[in-house]
Amino acid sequence: MNEELREQIRNNLKLKDIYELLEIWRINNRVVWSDTTFEVLREILKEKIREIPLQEKPILEEEEIIQDNHGLKDWEVILLNKESQPELYSPVEVITFGRNVNRLAIAVTVVYILLAFLNSQALQMYLQGTSLSINDITISFPNILTALLYPSLQIAFTYFPLKALSHILRILMEMEFNSRKS
């Protein structure tokens, strides 16, 4: 019976390509795969490659998968824990991309606001020691408005396209995962 089971597992595993097998081996999820599967998998890998790579710490409980999410959203954890991973891109790269966009958005906002403030007429006059009367401020109001509008547009034109790109990539990733064989 045991031999029969091993043979069945062996046949099932042989249907998968080497990358999938290596991924199963590396992730070492003992909740999804039995110990016998890993024994058979080791034999198959021994036949196919010279050196078997090291495994990660075994996942023994379902909770461990969720705990080890490093601030990822639930659906991202599900995608990353799937057995078959894409070959042409890395889902981690897509998730990191979203995070980098958020960081860059903050940097863009801070730098453009500071630059606008630094180049503002009011600051220039203050640095030159010229006092500003209410009349001066009223006269230069269109200039102040333009000075505020320009960095706002710069921030908007940088931030929104990047955010849109980040969302498009996430949607594409979900579509790609949904398109896989169940």
Partner 1 sequence: MSENNNLFGKKHATLWRISMWASGMAPVVFFIFGILALWEIVTYGALAHNQYQTDLTSLLSRDFFYIVDLLLKIAQDFINGAVCFLVLKGIALGLDMIVETDINYREKKVEGG
CB of 177 to partner 1, least distance (A): 9
Residue among 54 and 127 whose Cβ is closer to partner 1: 127
- Name the residue among 139, 140, 90, 148 with its Cα closest to residue 119: 148
Of 59 and 166, nearer to partner 1 (C-beta) is 166
Residues in the chain, total: 182
Please, which residue, 139 or 172, has the CB nearer to partner 1?
A: 172
CA contacts within 13 A on the Cβ side of 53: 13
Of the candidates 74, 85, 99, the one whose C-alpha atom is nearest the C-alpha of residue 169 is 99
Which residues, in sequence order, are CB contacts of 86 under 8 Å at separation 6+?
Answer: 176
Beta carbon of residue 95, minimum distance to partner 1 (angstroms, whole number): 11
Tell me how far, at minimum, the Cβ of 5 lies from partner 1, in Å: 25
**Residue numbers at the binding site for partner 1 (CB under 8 A):** 17, 19, 86-89, 93-94, 97, 100-101, 104, 107-108, 111-112, 114-115, 118, 127, 158, 161-162, 165-166, 168-169, 172-173, 175-176, 179-181
User: How far apart (Å, rounded) are the C-alpha atoms in residues 113 and 154?
Assistant: 10
- Dist CA 24 CA 151 (whole Å): 50
Q: Which C-beta is closer to partner 1: that of 6 or that of 16?
A: 16
Shortest reach from residue 99's CB to partner 1, in Å: 11
